[in-house]
A and B are shown apart, each in its own frame.
Chain A
Amino acid sequence: MSGFLSRERIVAGPGWSRWLVPPAALSIHLAIGQVYAWSAFKGALEKGMDIGGVASALPFTLGIVMLGLSAAVFGTKVDANGPRWAMAVSSACFVSGFLISALGIWLGQYWLVVLGYGGVGGIGLGIGYISPVSTLIKWFPDRPGLSTGIAIMGFGGGALIANPWTSSMLAAFGASGNDPDTDGIALAFLIHGVVYAVFMTMGWLLIRVPADDWRPAGWDPAAQKTRAMVSRAGVSAANAIKTPQFWLLWIVLCFNVTAGIGILEKANPIYQDFFRDSSPAETLTAAAVAFVSILSLANMLGRFLWSSLSDVIGRKNIYRIYLGVGALLYLALTFIGETNKAVFLLCSCLILSFYGAGFATIPAYLRDLFGTYQVGAIHGRLLTAWSTAGVLGPIIVNAIADSRADIAGPSKYTPAFLVMIVLLVLGFVANELVRPVADKWHEPEPDTTRTTGARA
């Protein structure tokens, strides 16, 4: 591949600071993280286009499914073509999703919103999510957990920005309330598309890959090798999915995400059911909204803090905490949460911080096991676990809650929480079974006379 988007054009010169790479990655992740603020559009679309709740959720659901699929399908291409290509394609797809949706709303054709935001935009989500991961890992071989934690924290932060921004824009265009103006909704989609196009441009203009022989100052690659789980050899994406380690991590990620969704999916009603008797009715609703907000904060901060800690204590140990301590926290929530608000808040926040951290630490875990040679493609394939959990989690939580609709109070959630504990324990066991990848899967040592070895 040649031209402006090619990898060869973005090899950093000697003076390039690696601290310019995280903001480049963040400009993509903060944008595509908007997907978690889709609910800000839902009310306006339902009333403005006269559709139901299931229909208004379709663009989001399709978007998350497309995220996992496109990350898996295009992962190898992202590794081959480089991060600028991936970020530019992601930007084009994500922005097109908004523009197609705006057109669909103007024409009164809701299927265009589903196709545009969910289908085309969803491809942008998947490619964008994995686009900076392997590049960051190569720029920060000494702190891979910290670097991917920053970027993936951005994905959580994207909704923080988009939620209030979208709501205030819809209100300004007369597109909120009981009779929203559909032209106002369409205009909001159009402006989102334009602003995100400009915002994401910084990412693909600024991104650089390190030269093959670049090393951080003072970093000794030999020291990295001293950890038993860390491999310096590379494994291809095609071979990685043949190893038990890949599928064990798939289970770890899937169950960790499912357990987090157990709270995230029903955070508002869970809070109200736990504290209905101990809080005045007039403050309960506002407190429940605040509870959801504080969980978002915990989810986001966990991505950065716990992932950074994994650089110190190792990836296997940090997942022992996410899964093992997570199961104990769910247990405490089930049996003590109702009687003590402080314990309830602490447990909930830690569980959500582990949920976010599970996403943020997995690229570094993959790097440790499979090396940096196609880690982006392997990460893309692993994200199918996220898509699976995205379906599995809400089904478990909602099915159990629906079957116990006649039960009041915290006991309504006891079976769902117990299922989450079982899933976390299974994830813990899967993590315990992870061993270094067998040598037979490693790529041959690169020929030093060639320059095609390491790819960011």
Chain B
Amino acid sequence: MSEQARSTEGRAPVALVVLAWAWVGVPFLYGLWQLVIKIPALFGG
């Protein structure tokens, strides 16, 4: 292993990857949505 560098990636359980991104993505999308709905006022909406 010391001679040839390890390059394996991407075999973690898909469910874990989805859960991890949803954990941070859902609150982020909530914040983003709350921000976006204010923007139309800038153009007289």
Residues of B within 8 A of A434 (CB): none
A30 to B32 Cα, complex, angstroms: 12
Residue interface mask A201-221, B partner, CB < 8 A = 1? 010001000010111111100
Enumerate chain A residues within 8 angstroms of B41, measured Cβ to Cβ.
283, 286-287, 289-290
Segment of A170-178, A292-300, A324-332 engaged in the interface with chain B: A292-300
Bound Cα distance A162, B9 (Å): 34
Interface with B: A16-24, A241-249, A314-322, A391-399, which one?
A: A16-24
Chain B contact residues: over half helix, strand or loop, or mixed? helix
Contacts of B11 in A (CB 8 A): 15, 17
Q: When the two chains form their complex, are residues A202 and B17 in contact, meaning their CB atoms are under 8 A apart? A: no
Among A129-137, A153-161, A253-261, which stretch is in contact with chain B?
A153-161
In the complex the two chains form, is A27's CB within 8 Å of B24's CB?
yes
Min C-beta distance of B21 to chain A, whole Å: 5
Are B20 and A216 neighbours in the complex by a CB distance under 8 Å? no
A291 adjacent to B42 (CB under 8 Å): yes
State how many residues of chain A have any CB contact under 8 Å with chain B. Answer: 44
Instruction: Verify B28–A290 contact, CB threshold 8 A.
Output: no
State in angstroms the CA–CA spacing of A213 and B2 once bound together: 7
CA A26 – CA B28 in complex, angstroms?
Answer: 10
Write the B3-45 contact mask toward A (1 if CB under 8 angstroms, else 0). Answer: 0011111111000110011011001101110111011111010
- Tell me whether A23 and B9 are in contact (CB under 8 A): no
Number of B interface residues, CB 8 Å?
30
Residue picked from B6, B12, B36, B42, most chain A C-beta under 10 Å: B42
Which residues 138-164 of A have a CB within 8 angstroms of B? Answer: 154, 157, 159-164
Is residue A53 contacting chain B, with contact meaning CB distance below 8 A?
Answer: no
- CB under 8 Å from chain B, chain A span 190-232: 199, 202, 206, 211, 213-219
Q: Which residues of chain A come closer than 8 Å to B10, judged between CB atoms?
A: 17, 19
What are the residues of chain B within 8 A of A16 when measuring CB–CB?
9, 12
Which A residues touch B5, using CB under 8 A?
213-215
Task: Name B31's contact: one of A27, A163, A290, A448 (CB within 8 Å).
Answer: A163
Query: Which one of B8, B16, B40 lies within 8 Å of A14 (CB-CB)?
Result: B8
Residues on A with C-beta less than 8 A from B38 are 289-290, 293
**What are 23 of the A-B contact pairs (CB < 8 Å)?**
A16-B12, A18-B9, A19-B10, A23-B23, A23-B24, A26-B24, A30-B24, A160-B28, A160-B32, A163-B34, A164-B30, A199-B27, A213-B1, A213-B6, A214-B6, A216-B9, A218-B7, A219-B7, A290-B39, A290-B41, A297-B32, A297-B36, A345-B42
Q: What are the 6 tightest A-B residue pairs by CB atom distance, in nearest-first order? A: A160-B31, A161-B31, A290-B42, A17-B12, A23-B20, A286-B41
